Structure 1
């Protein structure tokens, strides 16, 4: 016979992560072990310095504030409400609570025993990911105390982040403390104290035979079970859990939980029979989580002002730098950067609406250019346009005035974040802040009369992505553009001709075409001479095949390779060339704190110079495809 309370709890848990990934039977068994707590307003669940409890909590109703002390002030770091979990420290740490949890409303909590839930973590990496990232955000242990929550709306983003966790190797201590089995506990403890390390590896000829940690000293020495004069071999944990040098963050997380350990020994071949290389600690995992994009996105959602958004974007730059160093594919980094950039734009709009008041009608904010293509890794231009619903003529001025004011404030916030607003193509410009019917008319003019004297066609407007607002408005823009593509020969010819007008990257003698004067004299303009020609080519070819819902240059070329097999090799080479150019530009931008547009070729490594030159090869082939496909004698 079922326990009705356990069934009720199981039904509640099934609606929320990470419990939604468990079976009905598992949730029922968890429900049987849950202790239901009624917490009065202002009552403390636990406070900083309290000993760890053997349970964690999910809020059934009410609101809890999680705070920590920094610079002698109490700072709010999380606000778990119905369906959210907190108090995860017993899973991942051994020392006392580092935060205080207090009820801000009368609340009902479900206290779930750690021992009951641990088996589900060890067998389910998605549950593990969720708990670790929640812990790093609200525990006060992460390097930046960043807010988190791994509840991104985009499943694709979740999968990409998860994939990166398996790609990304960890930073760890490559000079661990090594001691002999015949040393006393007192000597080893003193060495650990002197070296400020929380562990010591016991070895024979640099082969690991055991490990001693702070936990061992507390549980076996401080309790009186062993004397400090005992040999360290008496209290060490053995055998040591060993891993190879390229162990990823996710793999290390799972091994620690499965084996209930706080340290992993890194060896030359990953076994306990080879030489010691280093040691991975729990703190290394927490540090790695601090700049995780999932953590940063939730932190963005809670940022109170532009200054905080700027700090978060700088943290993401660290993530990009580390990812490049660890050779994570640039396509993955681009995807995550797109999500972070979108989150920053959304938050800038939300903060503006909070100050300005609710908009009079529905609207949509579109990113265009590199932001719209999800190719913006370094701080560069913010390009955008805004579309609002049609209104009666007598309300048109006041409506437009509101959205111009909103766009101006959003642009100002994003300027503080680090995105340059000195561009003509931005939503605060009245020309690019218009009603739905005005935008439909604008796209029709661009596509019907390209190249006419009175028509200026900024091609980056065809690399748009909805960043905020009404999906219905986006669908209207899509219908306008893609319905026109069936009979716009002149439009494609214009786009193709514009693509071929880009300045040549190489001279007649196959040398890099560098700037001859001005502020960037002797530098190579990698943006205009290498990246944009590929962007333009992918755009015109992608639109000609009515490739919808994808404006990313790399992915456009990949899709073109499948659509036109006879040119597949050229398109695939172009996709890889784009990644080479983007990677070089990003590295230069991060190194010089710039947008990376101008690079000193002679300062590149010999390898990068060769990659850059070789990547230019498919561009000539693309030119021929475009000339033939769109019969460009009309414009040439």
Structure 2
């Protein structure tokens, strides 16, 4: 009669080295001798300096932390399939570390007396063990982990051999042409021509106080607005925008885009209090990289139709792919790609406004919501947007809304042509429910907050991440102020919002198994958005709203701000910030790999390292939800 338990043990072990090297009869014999051990959370497996047990361990379910006694710092964490406690047995020494279950855990205890003869018989197993000791890692076959005990490189380190050029220090011109503010324009123009430069720096007491470029000469002098006999002070741009000489190419791109200028002045310490040492032009940056964010931004602003913008979108995705391959920090990736996405949407809106038969009847604002509003829409997922326009007299209401609905429909259609899919729930500005005047939006949001049922909480969660893509920002600011005032007036709304943030299912079940879809189109797939991303996004929203903090929509940045506001929870919030970036990065990689939204993950296609990284975020999700539950007292509202 077959031993079904030992068969299950064998089926598990053969997935991992060095057991996958063993012959079938060797694995069967070894599995028959395995003892299955259950450990509660925080229970000890063995302590530092303790004599070695008669067996070593393999993690079947759960996780085991390896630490130095008395230290909180984890030197390693053993996950599914990891071996630990073997070296002391082979080296005849006491345990060097303490092993503690980090959660409810099942271990396979493998007797050394049964394993040692097999290792001696099988040269590959012996090689594995020797290399494990030499490289100080549990899996020496993983080249990327050699020499690393923890086995996971620091994301910020990147790959030194393939570090992207746009994170290198920028090369700038030291061919400075300077003048005083009293210098005659005719004279300084002659100097620029003679020295073949595109700008001249205006200085006083050796410090930069202004800058004059070819554009200033064209727009102010050549047009006749200012006489060529006037002094430099009449046309200089002041104060000068200065940066440190250690500026990277990416930082230079962002600075030029942000300030909409063509030249940066570099000083020793990045301020106007030290002399200028160089000038950096937009052309210098473009020459350094070629196809880069600054070039793409310029192409977006020059585009006159959706087809051209669609082509540029492909270039943006290629840029994103390159950033991920080079392990560029996720915060920087989000900022660059979001800037490009925002510019694309803004250009689409401008094209559509210009195509309307008449200009907008009143000022309006285009609001991006959801992931785009949070600056987290790296892939071309579906649209979530709204229109907010100025209040009009009663007799003009219908006419005004009709105009903006037509504009909203035109914009949504063009965005779809660019690559932004229609929202399945029609949460778009082409829908009358998402196209209102300021007063109407105040009434709508007040209704959501004063009558917080499940639908109202869902709509609030989507809408309250809005960000201005185009138009009158003051309208959005006034609406934000109204929302924050209402939140103070109706504190129970935050309780219900917190409850809504706790409704998404846990990412993992018993023994940290991934909870997958049980039926439907995505049966047996893991829903990364619903089970991992949304819980951490929703928690950030309600926490930042409870502090009445405006203008921070990005999830990672919200947690970083919360870490400042609540020092006692700093460690948790910073862990949540990291987890949100890690999950977003993982989803983006999956989306690019499978040419979809990256939402549904086929777990059998993930390697062990990818599963471990995902599981490490689950503990943070659980802790942040526990904080919400206690702070907003929503235990009684949970399902």
TM-score range, shorter chain: 0.5 to 0.7
Q: Are the aligned partners of 1:384 and 1:427 in contact in 2 as well (CA < 8 Å)?
A: yes
Q: Deviations over 1:152-196 (max 9, x none)?
A: 24589x99xx9xxxxxxxxxxxxxxxxxxxxxxxxxxxxxxxxxx
Q: Which residue of 2 aligns with 1:383?
A: 384
Give the direction of change, closer, same or farther, for the CA distance of 1:10–1:329 in structure 2 (3 Å limit): farther
Give the direction of change, closer, same or farther, for the CA distance of 1:4–1:540 in structure 2 (3 Å limit): closer
Q: How much does 1:289 deviate? A: 2.4
Q: Are the aligned partners of 2:506 and 2:531 in contact in 1 as well (CA < 8 Å)?
A: yes
Q: Which residue of 1 aligns with 2:634?
A: 632
Q: Which residue of 2 aligns with 1:594?
A: 596
Q: Secondary structure at the match of 2:549?
A: coil
1:44-443 matched pairs, under 5 angstroms: 58=214, 151-153=256-258, 289-356=289-356, 357-423=358-424, 424-443=426-445
Q: Which residue of 2 aligns with 1:23?
A: 203
Q: How much does 1:18 deviate? A: 7.3
Q: How much does 1:302 deviate? A: 1.1
Q: Does 1:4 align with 2:177?
A: no
Give the direction of change, closer, same or farther, for the CA distance of 1:365–1:514 in structure 2 (3 Å limit): same
Q: Are the aligned partners of 1:362 and 1:469 in contact in 2 as well (CA < 8 Å)?
A: yes
Give the direction of change, closer, same or farther, for the CA distance of 1:318–1:453 in structure 2 (3 Å limit): closer
CA separation in 2, counterparts of 1:446 and 1:83? 56
1:539-578 matched pairs, under 5 angstroms: 539-578=541-580
Q: Secondary structure at the match of 1:467?
A: strand
CA separation in 2, counterparts of 1:317 and 1:583? 14
Q: Deviations over 1:5-55 (max 9, x none)?
A: 445649999xxx974766369999x99xx9xxxxxxxxxxxxxxxxxxxxx
Q: Provide the TM-score with structure 1 as the length reference.
A: 0.59
Q: Secondary structure at the match of 2:511?
A: coil
Q: Are the aligned partners of 1:515 and 1:524 in contact in 2 as well (CA < 8 Å)?
A: yes
Q: Secondary structure at the match of 1:509?
A: helix
Q: Are the aligned partners of 1:379 and 1:418 in contact in 2 as well (CA < 8 Å)?
A: yes
CA separation in 2, counterparts of 1:453 and 1:328? 38
Q: Which residue of 2 aligns with 1:516?
A: 518
1:469-484 matched pairs, under 5 angstroms: 469-484=471-486
Gaps of 5+ in 1: 35-56, 63-80, 85-107, 109-122, 134-148, 163-253, 258-283
Q: How much does 1:351 deviate? A: 0.3
Q: Are the aligned partners of 2:540 and 2:555 in contact in 1 as well (CA < 8 Å)?
A: yes
**Number of residue pairs matched by the alignment:** 422
Q: Deviations over 1:245-298 (max 9, x none)?
A: xxxxxxxxx99x9xxxxxxxxxxxxxxxxxxxxxxxxxx996862332122112
Q: Provide the TM-score with structure 2 as the length reference.
A: 0.59
Give the direction of change, closer, same or farther, for the CA distance of 1:393–1:581 in structure 2 (3 Å limit): same
Q: Which residue of 2 aligns with 1:99?
A: none
Give the direction of change, closer, same or farther, for the CA distance of 1:518–1:403 in structure 2 (3 Å limit): same
CA separation in 1, counterparts of 2:618 and 2:434? 34
Q: Secondary structure at the match of 1:364?
A: strand
Give the direction of change, closer, same or farther, for the CA distance of 1:422–1:4 in structure 2 (3 Å limit): closer
Q: Which residue of 2 aligns with 1:525?
A: 527
Q: Which residue of 1 aligns with 2:619?
A: 617
Gaps of 5+ in 2: 1-179, 223-227, 229-242, 267-276
Give the direction of change, closer, same or farther, for the CA distance of 1:127–1:486 in structure 2 (3 Å limit): closer
Give the direction of change, closer, same or farther, for the CA distance of 1:565–1:391 in structure 2 (3 Å limit): same
Q: Are the aligned partners of 1:570 and 1:618 in contact in 2 as well (CA < 8 Å)?
A: yes
CA separation in 2, counterparts of 1:585 and 1:453? 27
Q: How much does 1:571 deviate? A: 1.4
RMSD over aligned Cα atoms? 4.2
